[in-house]
A and B are shown apart, each in its own frame.
Chain A
Amino acid sequence: MKLSNIFSRRNRILLRELVITDFKLRYQGSVLGYLWSLLKPLFMFAILYVVFGHFLRVGDTVEYFSIYLLLGIVFWSFFTEATNQGLTSIVSRGDLIRKINFPKYIIVISGTLSALINLILNLLIIAVFIAVANVDIKMSALLFPLYIIELYVFALSIAFFLSAAYVKYRDISHIWEVLLQGAFYATPILYPVSLVIKEASPMVAQLLLLNPVAQIIQDARYALVTHQSTTMSSLTGNILIQLTPFAIVAVFAVYASYYFKKHSGYFSENV
């Protein structure tokens, strides 16, 4: 797989059509159509905001907690959507794979790309909230796109690994569902990390932030919303520990591509 081939002309055309088709099919027959991509996160946010912001009051200490919360939710829902779509992408396109020869990674990428489009739409809503709430935009906001890239790379790597494994082991979808549910609570999305430090210990907070998704969410909140967001660098001065989440992403990306490439030649037989 030469890098220049990954986005050759033919592959680009195909990728584009697959993403467009995915998007068209998702909202086909619904009156509001594409609007649902914006409405769904809005409603979800409204519910969570009422529950966690008003009844449980976990985020009293954090400024702009509503946006802080929303950003975490939006990132997490991208992560689940991208990995879940990636997971089933190869198997659900079995009809194509059995009959046409084309690079299989295109299917996985197309699945994650439609999740990425949703993420971008959601970020637009957040931009509106940021404007309304008059959040003070700091220089650190320039780092924000980098965290989105990191998140996408991580989600895509997981999608590559899961999609290939799912061809062989159909249990993977259930395992991943359970893992995601657990990970949702193990990631500081609904609660601020400061709460963990107070209730447990800074050690536990560090452990939580080794998870790349947690690191990404906290860093993105820090970059865009508030410097009250607890990041790894505010917990420890050890540069090695600070770099660990990035290393996890990098190592997993390499491993997942290798695993996917090794198995992709046999998808057509096994799917």
Chain B
Amino acid sequence: MPVLDEAAIIVKDVSKTFKIPLDKASGIKQAVIRSTKRTKGFRNFKVLEDISFEVKKGEFFGIVGRNGSGKSTLLKLLAGIYVPDRGAIHVNGSLTPFIELGVGFNPELTARENVFLNGALLGFNRHEVELMYDEIVSFAELESFMAEKLKNFSSGMQVRLAFSIAIRSHSEILIMDEVLAVGDADFQKKCFAVFRELKKEGRTIILVTHDMGNVERFCDRVLIIDKGEAASITTPAKAAALYARLNIDDSKQSAINKGQGVVRWGTGGIRIKNLKISPSDNKEIPILDFQDPFELTIELEKEHRHKHTPFTVGLAFINQDNITVAGPNTLSSVIDPSSESIKYRIDKLPLQPGDYSLTVAIYEKESEEAFDFYDRAISFHVISDKAPQGLVTLGGTWSSE
């Protein structure tokens, strides 16, 4: 059994900044010009800041983060490809030098020759590669192609070959970056079997991926990294929810309410001054958990002659497929005509995970004329650690007799 207490990797307060050159070409001319102008010629780009975490021996450790979060840089630091600016990384045991499959493959060489070259990168000599050659080839299912030049291989074939070699590594710590992104379902199944085997052997594995399914399937713990900082270390299930939250964060930010062209009309006698959804984490677009409480506050601005005019408020919850999933209003409720602020509360938000827009409308109660019709006035996201199935959550219970 693997000893779970001993640390395989300790990362302490690691920071990394890259110097991005401002000139297009790098050369002596630029260096001279820079020194005469006394400009630096590069700008600093902070990729990682004060990252600290520990990976235990025998652990299956996941690292997730969006593109540009600093994941790859972190991996390269772990693998010793980059040197940290500050902080320290202690690696206890041998570590695969790979951070990517198929590195060092040469397209002009045959597949067979590439196996030996790649094996050498893992530290195997010709004789040792010879001994495991058949196994490598049969695992990759490429028996009849080994005399071909690698440039004639499809990318899937190349990755299969690379993976088959990489798993022969005797390293105690393996780093796997996005290895499962390619390969057909059959090959993936094989990879999973290998992972389980490696895990059983007590090897420490660091898996970097976007696929939360794989994270949940294999990882013991997960590091979520966002904007160069370690957001948290957590269980796979929680990581899935947190990761979904991160993904919503910037990528779709503002795309919802700006992209579709906001429509707003009405006489303006009573206007919507401000809309607020809570609980809100101060994000431009609030993110709510499925079944969490939901509260919408509508602040009104009234013309003097409408200070006491009875009015009704209508809402429309519109999902990402442009379907109005709910449309509550105040027709059957008692609303004080002189109120300046209206609240709408749901104790357990029953909306399925997804992106929603909210249309808010204020009507005059008598004439049903719109004071202010604000189409898609505000957006929010609903997330959950479970994938949404269908349009509604029924909340039923199952029993067996």
Task: Give the chain A neighbours of B76 by CB distance below 8 A.
Answer: 268
CB-based contact A100/B103 at 8 Å: yes
Task: Give the chain A neighbours of B19 by CB distance below 8 A.
Answer: 269
CB-based contact A171/B28 at 8 Å: yes
Decide yes or no whether B61 CB sits under 8 A from chain A. Answer: no
Decide yes or no whether B69 CB sits under 8 A from chain A. Answer: no
CB-based contact A17/B26 at 8 Å: no
Task: Give the chain B neighbours of A131 by CB distance below 8 A.
Answer: none
Stretch at the interface among B121-129, B221-229, B327-335: B121-129
CB-based contact B100/A99 at 8 Å: yes
Give B187-200 as 1s and 0s: 1 = Cβ < 8 Å from A's Cβ atoms.
00000000000000
Give B337-371 as 1s and 0s: 1 = Cβ < 8 Å from A's Cβ atoms.
00000000000000000000000000000000000
A-B contact count (CB 8 A): 71
Alpha-carbon distance A170/B100, docked complex (angstroms): 28
CB-based contact A266/B83 at 8 Å: yes
Decide yes or no whether B311 CB sits under 8 A from chain A. Answer: no
Contact of B104 among A96, A168, A169 (CB under 8 A): A96
Alpha-carbon distance A249/B25, docked complex (angstroms): 33
CB-based contact A21/B81 at 8 Å: no
Decide yes or no whether A28 CB sits under 8 A from chain B. Answer: yes
CB-based contact A101/B97 at 8 Å: yes
Decide yes or no whether B373 CB sits under 8 A from chain A. Answer: no
Decide yes or no whether B93 CB sits under 8 A from chain A. Answer: no
Alpha-carbon distance A18/B82, docked complex (angstroms): 22
Knowing A169-B26, A170-B25 touch, does A99 contact B103 (C-beta < 8 A)? Answer: yes
Decide yes or no whether A2 CB sits under 8 A from chain B. Answer: no
Closest B residue to A101 by beta carbon equals B80
Distance (Å) between the CB of A234 and the closest chain B CB? Answer: 40
CB-based contact A169/B27 at 8 Å: yes
Closest B residue to A15 by beta carbon equals B120
Stretch at the interface among A6-14, A61-69, A192-200: A6-14
Distance (Å) between the CB of A179 and the closest chain B CB? Answer: 14
CB-based contact B109/A25 at 8 Å: yes
Decide yes or no whether B79 CB sits under 8 A from chain A. Answer: yes
Knowing A169-B31, A171-B29 touch, does A13 contact B83 (C-beta < 8 A)? Answer: no
CB-based contact B27/A171 at 8 Å: yes
In B91-140, the 8 Å CB interface with A consists of 97-100, 103-104, 106, 108-109, 113, 116-117, 120-121, 123-125
CB-based contact B120/A16 at 8 Å: yes
Task: Give the chain B neighbours of A97 by CB distance below 8 A.
Answer: 81
Alpha-carbon distance A4/B27, docked complex (angstroms): 36
CB-based contact B120/A98 at 8 Å: no
Task: Give the chain B neighbours of A100 by CB distance below 8 A.
Answer: 79, 81, 97-99, 103-104, 121
Task: Give the chain A neighbours of B79 by CB distance below 8 A.
Answer: 100-101
CB-based contact B83/A265 at 8 Å: yes
CB-based contact A14/B109 at 8 Å: no
Decide yes or no whether A36 CB sits under 8 A from chain B. Answer: no
Contact of B124 among A13, A98, A102, A170 (CB under 8 A): A13
Q: Which of A13, A266, A269 has the largest count of B CB atoms less than 10 A from its CB?
A: A13
Distance (Å) between the CB of A45 and the closest chain B CB? Answer: 30
In A136-173, the 8 Å CB interface with B consists of 168-171
Distance (Å) between the CB of A247 and the closest chain B CB? Answer: 28
Alpha-carbon distance A268/B18, docked complex (angstroms): 11
Closest A residue to B125 by beta carbon equals A13
CB-based contact A14/B120 at 8 Å: yes
Task: Give the chain A neighbours of B18 by CB distance below 8 A.
Answer: 269
CB-based contact A102/B97 at 8 Å: yes
Closest B residue to A10 by beta carbon equals B123
Closest A residue to B103 by beta carbon equals A99
Alpha-carbon distance A240/B338, docked complex (angstroms): 106
The list of the 10 closest CB pairs from A to B, nearest first, reads A17-B120, A101-B80, A10-B123, A99-B103, A265-B83, A171-B27, A171-B28, A101-B97, A100-B97, A101-B81
Q: A14-B120, A28-B108 are in contact. List 13 more A-B contacts (CB 8 A).
A: A9-B123, A13-B125, A17-B116, A21-B109, A21-B117, A96-B104, A98-B81, A99-B100, A102-B97, A102-B121, A169-B27, A170-B25, A269-B18
Query: Could you pull out 24 A-B pairs where Cβ atoms are within 8 angstroms?
Result: A9-B123, A10-B123, A13-B120, A16-B120, A16-B125, A17-B120, A18-B120, A21-B117, A25-B106, A25-B109, A28-B108, A96-B103, A100-B81, A100-B97, A100-B99, A101-B79, A101-B80, A101-B81, A101-B97, A102-B121, A169-B27, A266-B83, A268-B81, A269-B18
